[in-house]
Amino acid sequence: MKFETISLEKRADEIAVLTMLRDEVMNTLSLEMMAEIRQAMLDCLDDPKVRVVIITGRGRAFCCGAELRYYVGPEKFDHHQARAYLIKVQGLFDFVEEFEKPVIGAINGFALGGGAELSMVCDFRIMSETARIGVPEIKLGVLAGAGGVQRLPRLIGRAKAIEMNMLGSHLTAEEAEKFGLLYKRVPPEKLMEACLELAAELGRKSPIALAMIKACINMSMEVPVKNSLKFGLETMLRAFAYEDQEEGMKAFFEKRPPVFPGRSFGIKPK
């Protein structure tokens, strides 16, 4: 499959690396790139040989958010076009958040605005020590419209999220780790190595159980705890219908590492 604004590398170790290639504009989210990211991830979802997806950017930025040419200049969107664009951005981020396979954000450089929001919907974030993350939309007279206002407080707490959104401040990798936003921070040259190491560990886990855990955690953030507990119980019971459960428990008693077969689970996101 050929892409213009991204690349997709499917490795022999069942890890896919999706790289945003619009480094000349700090990997901002054009309509074309968003469509290609979705298509690439659907391809990964359909491919049983892909167990984990890593998302990163080429150049100085992971992603610097919205394509500002849609808001100023000769290509400026009208109100209806701008609304449709933001709905597409939100839809892409919801899709990544609900993706049934683990997603790792490899934050190689600036992750600002929509780029920070994209990283927030990854399951793990590993950040280069030279990178920065923030939601500076207030400086443009607007707000983070695709999750920065809603997801950031859930990740780092209300007080720091208020500060970042209202002041438009950035976090260093050290600060982001301190506030619990990151899985870890690493030297720039170690970023992909650290992401591949984590992806390999996740790849050894049951893909069925991983998908179920992600679904349960996402559900728990949205509904009362009693509803979430009921959903979790039913999900746990469904796990016994899959080969992974049998292999995991058999391996435990045989005192050996499990080798989970894995197979597709649920309905593909629309």
Active-site residues, by number, are 117, 137
Using DSSP, how many helices (H) and how many strands (E) does the chain show? 10, 10
First to last CA, the chain: 20
Spatial contact of 165 and 135, defined as CB atoms under 8 Å apart: yes
Quick check: 52 and 199 in contact, CB under 8 A?
yes
Contact 128, 158 (CB under 8 A): no
Alpha helices in 16-147 (DSSP H): 31-46, 79-98, 114-120
Angle between helices 79-98 and 31-46 (to 10 degrees): 20
Residue 90's CB is within 10 A of a number of other CB atoms, namely 15
Show Cβ contacts of residue 147 under 8 Å, excluding neighbours closer than 6 positions: 90, 93, 117, 120, 121
* C-alpha span between 149 and 147 (Å, rounded): 5
Tokens of 137: 């939309």
Task: Determine how many CB atoms are found less than 10 A away from the CB of residue 177.
Answer: 17
